Structure 1
Amino acid sequence: MRTQPRPPSTGRSLEHPDRDLIRLEDVLHALSDPMRLRIVCTLAGSEAEQSCSVFDLPVSKSTTTHHFRVLRESGVISQIYRGTAKMNALRRDDLEELFPGLLGSVLAAADRQAARRETAAR
């Protein structure tokens, strides 16, 4: 029996875990980093997908890429290429189905923390 040869990789496909493979400890790890939490908060505040170039993080481009990869591989975000742009969106439905209330609680806590920091800076 012969198998079909695989087409050459274009480097354009991105792997995401299936919903059933998303693990709580991976999600919590992804959300534990301040830069990744900042990305998630920005995505949560947007109705549409956001390209990576929208995020102005105070880290190098390679570190930013790492943060997006951790979020994608943990199942927190989805990424898809649209032309040359890598577009990002929260996997809200998947996270809510698996861990009801988790994302909302984390986002609310992040807002409260930001408000406390702002008050303290005055």
Structure 2
Amino acid sequence: MGRARANARVIVHPGVEDLSVQQVLEALADPARRSVVHRLAHCDAPLSCGAFDLPVSRSTSTHHFNVLREAGLLRQYYVGTTKMNALRAEELEHRFPGLLRAVVAAADAEAHPRSLP
């Protein structure tokens, strides 16, 4: 039982070469997931899953984090029993130059709309 329990704590992440722009964009299509990416992009440190106030149930929140990880947007790891989340910004920039910056800039513009002249 101890061995199975230890393996349950291993979090698998796709390699940079396995990331597809389609999967990344599909992951970012959901507003809750975009809000996670936006917040991490403006944060200097990884955040726990519980640090996000998503307007969904806990199980749906877990699903959103899994989608982001499987798309290659997040790196997740444990600190004790807390699952931490870090944006894979450098890896994404290498694979899809400018994509993450554009998504974050668009989210910034949505959050702070300017009136047109």
Same fold (TM over 0.5): yes
- Percent identity, aligned pairs only? 50
* Match for residue 4 of structure 2 among 8, 11, 16: 8
**Structure of higher CA gyration radius:** 1
Which residue is equivalent to 1:28? 25
Which residue is equivalent to 1:47? 44
Aligned pairs for 1:78-89 within 5 A: 78-89=75-86
Q: What's the C-alpha RMSD, in Å, of the aligned pairs?
A: 1.4
Residue type of the alignment partner of 2:66: R
Cα deviation for residue 8 of structure 1 reads 2.9
1:60-102 per-position Cα deviation (integer Å, ceiling 9, x unaligned)? 0000000000000000010001100000000011100011000
Which residue is equivalent to 1:91? 88
1:87-121 per-position Cα deviation (integer Å, ceiling 9, x unaligned)? 000001110001100000110011111123x97xx
Which residue is equivalent to 1:115? 112
* Match for residue 67 of structure 2 among 70, 89, 114: 70
Which residue is equivalent to 1:4? none
Structure 2 residue runs of 5 or longer lacking an equivalent are: none
Q: TM-score, normalised by structure 2?
A: 0.91
Q: TM-score, normalised by structure 1?
A: 0.87
How many residues end up aligned between the 2 structures?
Answer: 112
